[in-house]
Chain A
Amino acid sequence: MNTLMDAACIVGIGQTAVCRKPGSGLSQMALQLKAVAAALEDAGLTARDIDGIMPFPNLGRAEAFAASLGCENLRFAATLNLGGAAPVAALRVAAMAVATGSANHVLVPGGWNGYSGARTREIAATDSESIPGAAIARDYYLPYGLSAPPQWYALMAQRHMQEYGTRSEQLGAVAIAMRRHAQLNPDALMHGKPMTMDDYLDSPMISAPYRLLDCCLETDGAAAFIVTSTERARDLRGRAVSIMGAASGQPYPADDIFNRKDFHRIGLTTAAPEAFAMAGVTPAEVDFAQIYDCFTFEVIQQIEEAGFCRRGEGGAFVENGGIELGGRLPVNTHGGLLSQAHLLGLGHVVEAVRQLRGEAGERQVKNAQIGVVTGWGDFGDGSIAILCRGEQR
């Protein structure tokens, strides 16, 4: 049987500094190119080696990246319309490309002026091409006062709370875990700014059940990674991290949140079993997970749908340090979107690679061998990759 298991590796990662005020001072393209330069340096590759590019939706075309960098032999370019699920979904598509010889080295960049430039809530309300469901949102959500992700997703969280008894304190436990991890990451925006449960509960309501501290940061910053075949990776200087399994999926229907027969089914519901089967491991064997944390409940939901616990048990799973370092499944060891920075999900990939290389410093998961990274986008699109230390299995 054909499989992508261990066919490809992540051989280079790069990330810029992150900030809010006064902003990066760079164009979004320049910001991304800085991250790309760092990833090339990390991999020991030059831009001439890159022959595949997978830009993030609406953040630049492959042609522009290639021309700026000097990629004279671009032969594979693709953008996946999965919003924040795109970078992790790109791991699978990039693996397909390098495994089939369609490209040798695939670059996945992503970055934005998410604080100093246009805010997500403005884009979602005004650009009917911004995401696949945007026209439906314009005609059937926006006139009723739901214009932005925390409002759409609040409806998903509220239903889960009703059906399974998930509580606000459990949402708070997610926010607090990310904040604790950020205290161990000098590059996190919330480094030096600890948070208590009282801080969480006292933060102003945005769209119930979501409070301010349920919401991710809006930040400027960029990251990038490079995927290469396992065969070629052996010749490179970077410590390769192997892609054991990867998959993406969509809820049904993907472009309308409310008319789903199974209201809690998200992209990850089908993607996770596919990825774990490919990898030949179970969720119990995973040492850490970097889970796309746009809002707190989405972490609980993804923990459930990825199979780390049963549906409805995610609230209890995240309590009492369950997803903190030292707990049963450390989640977002860098601080995540909630407390490190919003790097569109690429930061989660970068952190997973750092953990598996043993380069995570104070926040290193001891003896980390297998890690999971997920993405979430649009109205619940999902992606997941199961990664492991290269050449040590």
Chain B
Amino acid sequence: MTRPLPAMTGLTAQFYEWCSRGELRFQRCSRCATFRHVPRDLCAECGSFDWEWARSSGNGTVFTYTIVARALHPGFADAVPYAAAVIELAEGVRILGNIVDCPPGELRIGMPVRVDFERQSDAVTLPVFRRALTT
């Protein structure tokens, strides 16, 4: 069974379209410059409806993680064990992603990581994270 992919509609489609171009972008408020994720229609900090897709540095640290040992969705049956981590990016937003190229036993909270991209289908590319030597 293939992996489940995001529904490519609305702001979510825009977020993942940037990933397909190899760029991690988040909404940034045009008034108060606050970054936000997941996509929302207005800025919860200042109430502005004005925003742009602003490019992330792609640098962050592991905020928390889990190692999935038993697949609870058939699409991941061949992937276990795999690491899913919440990454806190330099811009302040947090995003869930898989950590690749790091043995699960070496994963630590606070570990510096950097974004990369993995194409899943013609339409969808997902951000992934790799261990970075320095922040």
Partners in one complex: yes
B-binding residues in A (CB < 8 A): 121, 125, 128, 135-136, 138-148, 150-151, 154-156, 158-159, 162, 204-210, 253, 256, 258-259, 263
Contact A142 B72, beta carbon cutoff 8 Å: no
Q: Which residue of B lies closest to A148 (CB)?
A: B72
Chain A residue at minimum C-beta to C-beta distance from B73: A147
Specify which of A138, A141, A143, A154 lies most central, judged by the most chain B CB atoms within 10 Å of its CB: A143
- Shortest Cβ distance from B69 into chain A, in angstroms? 4
| Pairwise interchain contact B5-A145, C-beta atoms closer than 8 A | no
B94 with A143: CB separation less than 8 A: no
**Once the chains bind, are B38 and A136 in contact (CB under 8 Å)?**
yes
Q: A136-B38, A140-B38 are in contact. Are A162 and B64 (CB under 8 A)?
A: yes
| In the bound complex, CA of A205 to CA of B86 (Å) | 20
Within 8 A of A (CB), among B50-85: 63-73, 76, 79, 82, 84
- CA–CA, A139 to B37, complex, Å? 12
Chain B proximity of A254: nearest CB distance (Å): 12
Instruction: Find A145's partner among B37, B79, B86, B93 (CB 8 Å cutoff).
Output: B79
Q: Is B126 an interface residue (CB 8 A)?
A: yes
Are A155 and B98 interface neighbours, CB within 8 A? no
Q: How far is the CB of B132 from chain A (nearest CB, A)?
A: 19
**Residues in chain A near residue B73, CB distance under 8 A:** 121, 125, 142, 145, 147-148
Chain B residue with Cβ nearest A206:
B70
User: Which residues on the A side are within 8 Å of B68 (C-beta)?
Assistant: 145-146, 151, 206-208
Query: Which residues of A have CB within 8 Å of B124?
Result: 143
Q: Does B109 contact A (CB under 8 A)?
A: yes
Q: How many A-B contacts at CB < 8 Å in the complex? A: 111
Given A138-B6, A259-B37, A145 and B98 contact (CB-CB distance below 8 Å):
yes
From residue B90, how far is it (CB to closest CB) to chain A in Å?
Answer: 15
B120 to A143, Cβ gap below 8 A? yes
A-B pairs, top 8 by smallest CB distance, nearest first, are A159-B64, A139-B6, A147-B73, A154-B66, A205-B69, A208-B67, A148-B72, A258-B94
A82 to B103, CA, bound (A): 37
- B96: A residues at CB distance < 8 A: 140-141, 144, 146, 258
A263 surroundings in chain B (CB, below 8 A): 63-64
Interchain CB contact under 8 A, A258 and B95: yes
Given A147-B72, A208-B69, also A259-B4 (CB < 8 A): no
Residues of chain B contacted by A208 (CB below 8 angstroms):
66-69
- A155 touching B66, Cβ below 8 Å: yes
Indicate the member of B4, B79, B97 with the most A CB atoms within 10 Å.
B4
Residues on B with beta carbons closer than 8 Å to the beta carbon of A256? 38
23 A-B pairs, CB-CB below 8 angstroms? A121-B72, A135-B7, A136-B38, A138-B7, A139-B38, A140-B96, A142-B6, A142-B73, A143-B124, A144-B84, A145-B98, A146-B66, A147-B4, A148-B72, A151-B84, A155-B86, A205-B69, A206-B69, A207-B67, A207-B69, A207-B72, A258-B86, A263-B63
User: Which listed residue, A121, A207, A259, touches B66 by the CB 8 Å rule?
Assistant: A207
| CB pair A140 B6 closer than 8 Å | yes
- CB of B3 within 8 A of chain A? yes
Give 10 new A-B contacts, CB below 8 A, not counting A141-B96, A143-B124, A207-B70.
A135-B7, A148-B73, A151-B72, A158-B109, A159-B64, A204-B69, A207-B66, A259-B36, A259-B37, A263-B64
Q: Establish whether residues A204 and B84, one from each chain, have CB atoms under 8 Å apart when the complex forms.
A: no
Asked if B109 and A259 make an inter-chain contact with CB atoms under 8 angstroms apart, the answer reads no
B12 at the interface (CB under 8 A from A): yes
Asked if B38 and A204 make an inter-chain contact with CB atoms under 8 angstroms apart, the answer reads no
Contacts A144-B84, A145-B79, A258-B96; A205 near B67 (Cβ below 8 A): yes
Chain A residues whose CB sits within 8 angstroms of the CB of B71 once the complex forms = 145
Q: Cα distance A210–B94 when bound, in Å?
A: 22
**Interchain nearest-CB distance for B2 vs A (Å):** 11
In angstroms, Cα B109 to Cα A125, docked, is 27
Residues on the B chain within 8 Å of A139, using CB: 6-7, 12, 38
Residues of A within 8 A of B109 (CB): 158-159, 162
Kindly name the residue among B7, B72, B73 whose own CB sees the greatest number of chain A CB atoms within 10 A: B72
Most chain A CB neighbours (cut-off 10 Å) among B64, B67, B98: B64
Given contacts A121-B73, A159-B109, contact A259 B64 (CB under 8 A): no
User: What residues of chain A lie closer than 8 Å to B72, measured between beta carbons?
Assistant: 121, 125, 147-148, 150-151, 206-207
A145 touches B6 (CB 8 A): no
Which residues of chain A are near B86, meaning CB under 8 Å? 155, 258
Closest chain-B Cβ to A323's Cβ sits at a distance in Å of 25
User: Which residues does chain B contribute within 8 Å of A138, judged by CB atoms?
Assistant: 4, 6-7
